[in-house]
Structure 1
Amino acid sequence: MRTSKPFFSLQTIMTLLVCGVVALSLTVTDILISQKVADNTQQNLANKATNIARIVAHTPLVIEALNGQRADSEIQPFANEIRQITDVEFVVVTDMKGIRKSHPDISKVGQPFVGGDEGEALKGHEYVSNAKGTLGMSLRAFTPIVTPTGKQVGAVAVGILLNNVNQAVAQSRLIIFISVGFGLLVGVIGALFLARKIKHIMFGLEPNEIAKMLEERSAMLESVREGILAIDKDSHITLANAAALRLFNKAGILGDPVGKRVTDCVPNTRMQLVLETGSAELDQELNLFGITLVTNVIPLFVNGKSVGAIATFRDKTEIKQMAEELTGVLLYAEALRAQAHEFMNKLQVILGMVHMKYYDQLSKYISRIAHQQQNEIGFISRHIKDPVLAGFILGKMSYAREVGAELVLFEECFLPEPANPEMIHDIVTVFGNLVDNALDAVVDCPLKRIDVNFSYENGVIILEVSDTGPGINNELKRQIFVKGNSTKGPNRGLGLYLVKRSLERLNGKIEILSEEGQGTQFKVSLPYKSKDEME
Structure 2
Amino acid sequence: MKKGKLSLQAVIIIFVCIVVALSLGITDLIISKRITSSVEETEKEKALNVAKMVVLSPQVIGALEGKTNKKNVQVFSNQIRKKTNVNFVVVMDMKGIRLSHPDPEKVGKHFAGGDEGPVLKGKEYVSISKGTLGRSMRAFTPIKNSQGKQVGAVAVGISLESVTKAVQKGRMGMVIGTVIGILIGVVGAVGLARYLKRILLGLEPFAIARLLEERSSMLQSVREGIIAIDQEGNITLVNRTASKLLKRAGLEGNPIGMNVEEYLPETRLTRIINSGESEMDQEQNLHGVTILVNRVPVIVGNQPVGAIATFRDKTEVQVLAEQLTGVRNYADALRAQAHEFMNKLHVILGLVRTEQYDTLAKYVSETVNHRETEVGFVTKKVQDPVLAGFLIGKLSFARESGALLSFDCANILPKPANSEITHELITIIGNLVDNAMEAIADNPIKKVELTLDYAEDILTVEVKDTGMGMTKSLQNKILDKGFSTKGDNRGFGLFLLAQAIERLEGDLIISSKPGKGTNFAVYIPYKAEDEEK
Please, what TM-score do these two structures have when normalized by structure 1? 0.56
Partner of 2:4: 7
Match of 1:219 in 2: 217
Contact residue 335 and residue 392 of structure 1 kept, 8 A: no
From 142, 160, 169, the equivalent of 2:158 is 160
What is the one-letter code of the residue matched to 2:112? V
Amino acid of the structure 2 residue aligned with 1:79: S
CA-to-aligned-CA distance 1:413-447 (integer Å, 9 cap, x gap): xxxxx99967999xx9xxxxxxxxxxxxxxxxxxx
CA–CA distance in 1 between the matches of 2:177 and 2:23? 13
The residue matched to 1:252 in structure 2 has which SS? coil
CA distance in 1, matches of 2:54, 2:436: 123
For 2:227, the equivalent position in structure 1 comes to 229
Query: CA contact under 8 A between 2:348 and 2:360: conserved in structure 1?
Result: no
Which residue of 147, 150, 154 maps to 2:148? 150
> What is the RMSD of the two structures over their aligned residues, measured on CA atoms?
5.4
Q: How much has 1:60 moved relative to structure 2?
A: 5.7
Give the 3 Å change call, closer, same or farther, for CA 152–392 of structure 1 in structure 2.
farther
Aligned to 2:103: 105
Check the 8 A contact 1:350/1:362 in 2, yes or no: no
- Letter of the structure 2 residue corresponding to residue 134 of structure 1: T
**Does structure 1 retain, via aligned residues, the 8 Å contact 2:54–2:60?**
yes
How far is 1:136 from its partner?
2.4
| Cα displacement (A) at 1:334 | 8.1
Deviations 1:383-438 (A, max 9, x none): xxxx98x959969xxxxxxxxxxxxxxxxxxxxxx99967999xx9xxxxxxxxxx
Query: Residue 6 and residue 64 in structure 1: after superposition, are their counterparts in 2 closer, same or farther (change >3 A)?
Result: same
Q: What does 1:500-519 align with in structure 2 at a 5 Å threshold?
A: 505=489
| 1:141 alignment partner in structure 2 | 139
**1:292 and 2:287 aligned:** no
Q: Do the aligned residues in 1 keep the contact of 2:340 with 2:400 (CA within 8 Å)?
A: no
Give the 3 Å change call, closer, same or farther, for CA 287–31 of structure 1 in structure 2: same
Q: Specify which of 357, 360, 378 is matched with residue 355 of structure 2.
A: 360
- C-alpha contact 1:100 1:110 (8 A) present in aligned 2: yes
**1:288 positional shift:** 1.9
Q: How does 1:297-336 map to 2 (within 5 A)?
A: 297-300=295-298, 308-319=306-317
1:127 paired to 2:122: no
186-195 or 262-271: bigger deviation: 186-195
Contact 1:280 1:297 in 2 (8 A): yes
Please state how far the C-alpha of 1:226 moved relative to its aligned partner: 1.0
Equivalent residue, structure 2, for 1:438: none
CA distance in 2, matches of 1:14, 1:366: 95
Task: Please name the residue that 2:92 is paired with.
Answer: 94
Q: CA deviation at 1:247?
A: 0.8
Instruction: Identify if the C-alpha distance between structure 1 residues 342 and 393 changes in structure 2 by more than 3 Å, giving closer, same or farther.
Output: closer
Q: Pairwise mapping of residues 267-286 of structure 1 onto structure 2 (< 5 A)?
A: 267-274=265-272, 280-286=278-284
Change (3 A) 1:159 1:277: farther
**Cα displacement (A) at 1:8:** 2.8
Decide which of 45, 48, 61 is 2:46's aligned counterpart: 48
Bigger mean CA offset, 279-288 vs 340-349:
340-349
Change (3 A) 1:220 1:19: same
1:347 offset after TM fit, Å?
9.7
- Cα deviation, 1:19-62, whole Å, max 9, x if unaligned, reads 55555565555555545543443333223222322333345665
SS in 1 for 2:119: helix
Partner residue of 1:472? none
Gaps of 5+ in 1: 371-386, 396-417, 429-456, 460-501, 508-529
Change (3 A) 1:7 1:113: same
- Residue 249 (structure 1) aligned to one of 225, 247, 250: 247
Once the two structures are TM-superposed, the CA of residue 253 in structure 1 deviates from its matched residue by 1.8
- Alpha-carbon displacement from aligned partner over 1:106-158 (angstroms, at most 9, x marks no partner): 45445543333223223222211222333222221122234565343433322
> Relative to structure 1, is the Cα distance of residues 349 and 79 closer, same or farther in structure 2, using a 3 angstrom cutoff?
farther
Instruction: Write out per-residue CA displacement over residues 331-385 of structure 1, whole angstroms, 9 at most, x where no aligned residue.
Output: 878877876776898899999999xx97938999999999xxxxxxxxxxxxxxx
Distance 1:84 1:394 in 2: 134
The aligned amino acid for 2:132 is: T
Shift of 1:534: 7.3
Q: Unmatched 5+ residue regions in structure 2?
A: 366-392, 402-430, 442-467, 471-485, 492-512, 519-533
Alignment map for 1:134-533 (pairs within 5 Å): 134-147=132-145, 149-189=147-187, 202-205=200-203, 209-232=207-230, 235-274=233-272, 280-300=278-298, 308-319=306-317, 360=355, 391=397, 505=489, 532=515
Query: For residue 82 of structure 1, what is the aligned residue in structure 2?
Result: 80
What's the CA shift string for 1:241-298, capped at 9, x where partnerless?
2211221121012344345443443232333444566665544444321223333333
One-letter amino acid of the structure 2 residue matched with residue 56 of structure 1: V
Structure 1 residues 148, 394: closer, same or farther in 2, change over 3 A? farther
Deviation of 1:79 (Å)? 3.3
Q: Is the 8 A contact 1:146 1:154 kept in 2?
A: yes
The one-letter amino acid paired with 2:355 is: D
